[in-house]
Amino acid sequence: MDINKNISLNIELLKHYINHKVLKTMQTKVDSVNKSLQNGACPGNDYLGWMDLPFHINQEELDKLLKVADEIKNNADYLICIGIGGSYLGAKATIEFLSSPFKKEKILFLGHHLGSDYIADMLDYVKSKNIYVNVISKSGTTTEPGIAFRIILDKMKSWFDDPKKIKQRIIATTDKQRGVLRELADAEGYRTFIIPDNVGGRFSVLTPVGLLPIAAMGYDVNALIEGAKSIARLCKENNSVLDNPVLTYAVSRYLLYQHGKKIEVLSSFDPALQYIGEWWKQLYGESEGKEGTGVFPAGTIFTTDLHSIGQYIQDGERILFETFLNIAQTVKNVKIPDTNENRDGLNYLAGMELAEVNYQAYRGTALAHYSGGVPNMTITLPEKNEYYLGQLFYFFEYAVAISGLLLGINPFNQPGVEAYKQNMFALLGRPGYEDLRKNLLSS
């Protein structure tokens, strides 16, 4: 890995919508929101702990975390991670990004939905296995992981004869003082890791929320932190809309939104990036989508989706812009073989690396979408590793803070998530929700 290389952004195919001159006109506005972010004076400023997180990771806490990660690595058949939203997607995305799809990682995820068959099948699958459980919830009160933890704990009581064995295998990641998970962990004597008060769920991948599962799967969390640190430094030092790609990206998507481009499609040509797309959708959807505004984040994996939703992108309603996420260097090379007969007519590709074919598919797609009225830009990671992933995480976090503030909203809350919860509690008969229940049942 060459740490002099960095994540980069190419905005060539935004031309006719956005160019350097237009970007420059945004500098004063960006200076103002950037300053309010850096000085902690923006809306939601009690949730800015993510900004300095890469610089302030406590070495003693990290050593403790790495020790527990080693214990899991050495003893567990499976680590079951229980969590939803920001307490799930960072670890899931990282592990999917770094591992081979054919290597069965020793991690299973639970509590990110209420699917009955999924939970029943998992319980059946792990019942005779040596499991560790990492239950992750900042609030400690979220229903989906709460139910999943209750179910698994109940099963563990029948699987393990000695309560000490259960205690040894449960690690809780939660708030340092508040929430039922904290109370439960303290009462039962589980080992715990703390999610800082001032870091919101979707910005928490560099806290124990993400770091413990990622380290337990054997990935290099120090490199992840270093990568994030390099972009955090860049954002502290460089406030130029033209020269800092994080700001260029944030401002471009803001301006495209003003042009009526209401949907951003994050498109990639490597299936390893699928869950990075899911993480990004959560980060952008929850941060920006409020008060009747915000770009809607969607995701595709090409070339697969060029044979499905690609039709809409090329030819449907012109409300889209696209951000391609590319990796410059593949880890492994595959050459296309030559044949004497050339019955499939593919000999014109013989001897070519598959990565080159994929790259030309990307170029062809970017140009086609641009001429079809979908302006697009490209973020490129030099390689697929922890360091550049750390850069990408911080890149997207900082950019959504800027674009959210440009929209005039608080990017760090998620009031809209409450609506379904209230209705669900009422419909399930939770005490205190009687009036709402009556209203819902009569409507």
Residue 138 or 369 having the CB closest to ligand PA5:
138
Catalytic one among 15, 129, 421, 438?
421
Residue 9 or 53 having the CB closest to ligand PA5:
53
Binding positions for ligand PA5, rule: CB under 6 A? 84-87, 137-139, 142, 145, 200-202, 286, 414
Residue 201 or 297 having the CB closest to ligand PA5:
201
Rounded to an integer, what distance in angstroms lies between the CA atom of residue 58 and that of residue 384? 27
Rounded to an integer, what distance in angstroms lies between the CA atom of residue 298 and that of residue 300? 7
Residue 169 or 202 having the CB closest to ligand PA5:
202
Residue 179 or 375 having the CB closest to ligand PA5:
179
Minimal CB distance residue for ligand PA5: 201
- Amino acid in the structure at residue 6: N
- Specify whether 226 is catalytic: no
Strand partners, 301: 268
Angle, helix 27-38 to helix 245-258, in steps of 10 degrees: 120
In which residue are the tokens 């905005």 written? 11
Catalytic one among 286, 322, 386, 397?
286
Catalytic one among 21, 56, 104, 307?
307
* Sign of the CA dihedral with 106 first, then 110, 113, and 119 last: positive
Q: Do 427 and 440 meet the contact criterion of CB atoms below 8 Å apart? A: yes
- Specify whether 421 is catalytic: yes
CB of 418 to ligand PA5, least distance (A): 10
Residue 89 or 389 having the CB closest to ligand PA5:
89
Half-sphere exposure in the Cβ direction for 221 (13 Å, CA): 27
Q: Report the candidate in 34, 126, 125 with the shortest Cα–Cα distance to residue 76.
A: 126
CB of 128 to ligand PA5, least distance (A): 29
Rounded to an integer, what distance in angstroms lies between the CA atom of residue 311 and that of residue 331? 30
CB of 143 to ligand PA5, least distance (A): 9
Residue 395's φ and ψ, nearest 5 degrees, are -55, -50
- Specify whether 307 is catalytic: yes
- CA dihedral (68, 69, 73, 76) in degrees, to 10, reads 60
Helices (H), 99-176: 116-126, 143-159, 163-169
Structure tokens at 178: 């508040």
CB of 427 to ligand PA5, least distance (A): 19
CB of 195 to ligand PA5, least distance (A): 7
Number of H helices, E strands in the chain: 18, 10
CB of 214 to ligand PA5, least distance (A): 16
Show Cβ contacts of residue 95 under 8 Å, excluding neighbours closer than 6 positions: 105, 107, 213, 214, 217, 219
Catalytic residues: 286, 307, 421
